[in-house]
Chain A
């Protein structure tokens, strides 16, 4: 019998193993976009491209060809470095064109150009319909409504997070009322815990009036709970959103059970389509809530964003809920703007270092690292869909009764959207 040489056998095995390993692609060396530092136009471009490439939560439905954008704009940003300096307008336009049309309606990109000492802000998503909401005019008209009572307002246009208005309006039945609440932002629980505000009693007065003293836990002894209140208006026009945790006291308290309004997911890898599974997104029933269902109207417009849209969607699915006004903005992802909190956990959503930008009021207001091409991308962490897995991103919640914003009527002292809500609740519904 022929004797086998074991060393030859081992050498063969090693050679074959080397051949096999060579058949696999090498992993890429990707940098963490949350900590990356850039010193050129091109590095800044590449950091933002790469960060969005593997952390953006909406790649499953965004139609932008991101690889093609890289190929198209890479030579442009490289040429900026070759030239040394570049006109600010040209630089801004390149960024505008490069990011144009990304779907995430929360997305906001900040860029610092140290050569020109200019900070640029971009919103890549575009809506084909937009207007400003004249909240002051709408509040002024509300105050003049016939029969308005228990009117409580705190509105500081410089700090919308504190703002709200509550009142009673005559209802369908004589002696019965419609409870009205306008929320400036979803910041109920933040406000409740904030003991630094000098005029806190005045700020929280409308919330106490509508929900009750324990307003961060829902409706207790406020206007909405009164026996003579037969229906409710939640005015979300111009509401930019806020804390998702507020959905429970603010909207969940209008219901008698908790609710699941859809599903959410996040990224779980560097691949654009590496996602977690869908998990139910819902709101628990708060400590205090209505024990008997009442008709609820959500008043919305194109400037109802994020949490305001989730609230609208929840009210839309309530048996006695109705959405009146305009479609909402279409920014339905959930996010946390602090990159040291959620990005470091989920590796999705907002990334970049805001501290590298010039900070007015801090020191001499100049950047701590003046040579850095700083960047910050504000973007969704969680993708949220409805219960039938439909995304509202870029689409918004459609109203049940459509009433477009009418600036001319407002100027003439008439709020057509509020009128529609009141006439709906005062009709036989």
Chain B
């Protein structure tokens, strides 16, 4: 079943040196699955995520043949109608919880606000619901956390709180933009397994944006590899290590490995043809 269908998405930024294309003709579909988007910084992966939520502000320009959420074209919606989509139907977890939580509101106030914005509910009901959600992201004493401010939380806890806040309106799609790159290796796994459990339990679609190839190979079902605004390759995540495109191979080979020591790491040599080749469609 297709939740989201994106066709020929472009993101452009006018600059003094002419128009810069950040995303160039990307097409993909998302079902009830975990879709990974990988690439280096500047490859347009975050821009793709933001464009879906129509979060790109002028002077940035977004064009697409369609971005349809269960048959509903998001490109045709007004800003007001988009507000009902954001959070309620598609929500997004950003990279660093330090910048995405409000520093002057308690955690409780923020989660309750997120819930009451999309559901008509009494405060007491919203409070109970928030506690339940914090427990779902394995926070040990949710009552204390509800009263705490973001600066009193560690990075891993902050990210779990963000996930709780984003999932409390029960969206159909979660876009996770590098949700674990600000976290420690040991905490990373924990946060990922929480995302995984919630996404599977609720039958949501997940777009997982990351620069970490091994993480994506482990965690997702299908992977899009982006280079300079285009999709260069689509493959099943478990077959990522047999990827064909020289760019993907280059990225994989440049990783140091514990099981295969070498004197020199392979360095990626870029072929200008990669950025010229048309985008591979990932529509099913």
A, B in one complex:
no
Chain A positions within 8 Å of B, measured between CB atoms, are none
